[in-house]
Amino acid sequence: IMDKDDLILPKDFPKLKNDAFLLACRGQETPHVPVWCMRQAGRYLPEFRESRAGKDFFATCRSPAACCELTLQPLRRFPFDAAIIFSDILVIPQAMGMDVQMVAGKGPTFPEPLKEPEDLLLLQSKVDVNKELDYVFKAITLTRHKLEGKVPLIGFTGAPWTLMTYMIEGGGSTTQSKAKRWLYRHPEASHQLLKMLTDIIVEYLLGQVAAGAQALQVFESHAGCLGPVEFQEFSLPYLRDIARKVKDQLKESGLDVPLIVFAKDGHYGLEDLSQSHYEVVGLDWTVDPRSARERTGGKVSLQGNMDPCALYAPKERISEIVKKMLEGFGTRGYIANLGHGLYPDMDPENVGAFVEAVHTHSRHLLNLK
C-alpha cells in the first residue's frame, strides 16, 4: 500500500501499460492508431461541470487534487490513449505577476494588460518556476501515480506569441490587433517579451518532465492571425528555441520526451514546423491529411485533425468521417485528435463514438497491411 506522501514524489511511477501514443509520436508501429482530444477534460462532461461548480477556475488550477481528478474523469468514461494534465496556458503570465481572472461568459480577462513597452518593466522577468508553478508540477506527479500506468500523461504550455497576445489584448480577440500593433510598432520590445516568455517556458516544460510528464505539447493557438512573414519572425524562432533547449537539457539527464507543436491555422508554416525539433506536428481541420503528409515529407508524426463540429453529426457519419481521415493520414506516425478543443455543448456519447471509430477503423486498416 502506498503512503499518501509517496504520491507526491516524482519517482517509482507505475509501469506504463499502453504506450501506443508514445510509439506513434516516434513514428513506430502501433497496434491501433492512438487517440486523445484537446480539452478532453472539459465542460462537455457532466462530471466535470459538477466538480467545477461554484469554484474559481484558477483556484482549481492551483489544487493538485482537483487537477488530478479532472484529468482522470474522461479516462473513466472513454478508452483514450493519453491523458493531458488539467491546467491553463495563462498560469505563465500569472507567474510573471499579471492578474488574470476567469470571467463567466467572457473567458480569461487581464484587468491591467500590457499597453506600451515600458509596461514590460512591471513584469517579473526572472521567474522561479519551482516556486511559482509548483502546483502544476505537484498535479502532474499526483496524476501520474493515480493513472496507474493506464496511459501516458501529456504536459503542455502556451507558446510565446500566443501568451503575448493575451497579455496585450487583455483577453480573447478575433483580430489580435493590439498585440499585432506591437509587432509592427515595437518590434524590439516584442522580441524582448517573446524571449522572456521563451526562457520561462523552457524551465516550465523541464519542470513538467521532472514531475512526470511523458510528452509535451506547445500550443501556438494564435498562429492564424500572423502572416507567413510575421510567423517567421515572431513565432517560429521561439518555437524552435523552446524545442532545442528542452531537448538539450533533457539529453543531459538521459531523458527523451516527445514534443508536439500545434500552431492553429498556421498551415503556411507546415514545412518549417516539420523541421523544428518537434517529433509531432498538430494540425487543425483546415489542412488536408494527404497534403500534410506530402508537405512534411515523413519527417514528423502528425496529430489531428477532425473538425470538432463533426461531433454534432450522427454516430454513423462520425464513423465515416474518421475512416476517411485515417485513410488520408495513414496509420503510421499518426495520432488521431480533433483540430481544436471540444466545445462545451458536445454530447459525450459522440466523443465515445469518435474514439471507438478511430480504434476500430485503424485496427481494420492495420490488419489489411
Tell me the catalytic residues. 39, 43, 52, 88, 166
Which residues, 6 or more positions from 48, have their beta carbon under 8 angstroms from its beta carbon? 41, 42, 70, 73
Decide: helix, strand or coil at residue 42. coil
d(CA 225, CA 265): 8
The owner of cell 507526491 is 8
Cell of 15: 509501469
CB 269 within 8 A of CB 289: no
Quick count: other Cβ atoms within 10 Å of Cβ 128?
12
Decide: helix, strand or coil at residue 101. strand
The phi and psi torsions of 139 (rounded to 5 degrees) equal -65, -40
Which residues, 6 or more positions from 103, have their beta carbon under 8 angstroms from its beta carbon? 109
d(CA 323, CA 358): 7
d(CA 318, CA 351): 9
Name the DSSP class of 297.
T
User: Taking the CA of residue 19 as centre, how many other CA atoms within 13 Å lie in the half-sphere pointing to its CB?
Assistant: 13
Q: Taking each helix axis as running N to C, give the angle between helix 236-252 and helix 160-169, from 0 to 180 degrees, rounded to the nearest 10.
A: 130
d(CA 339, CA 228): 20
DSSP 105-118: TTEEE-SS---SGG
- Phi-psi region for residue 8, left (φ > 0), alpha (ψ -120 to 50) or beta? alpha
How far does the chain reach from its first CA to its final CA, in angstroms? Answer: 45
Give the CA distances from residue 55 to residues 61, 92, 143, in Å, rounded to whole numbers and listed in that order.
10, 21, 20
Of 223, 212, 89, 39, the C-alpha closest to 140 is 212
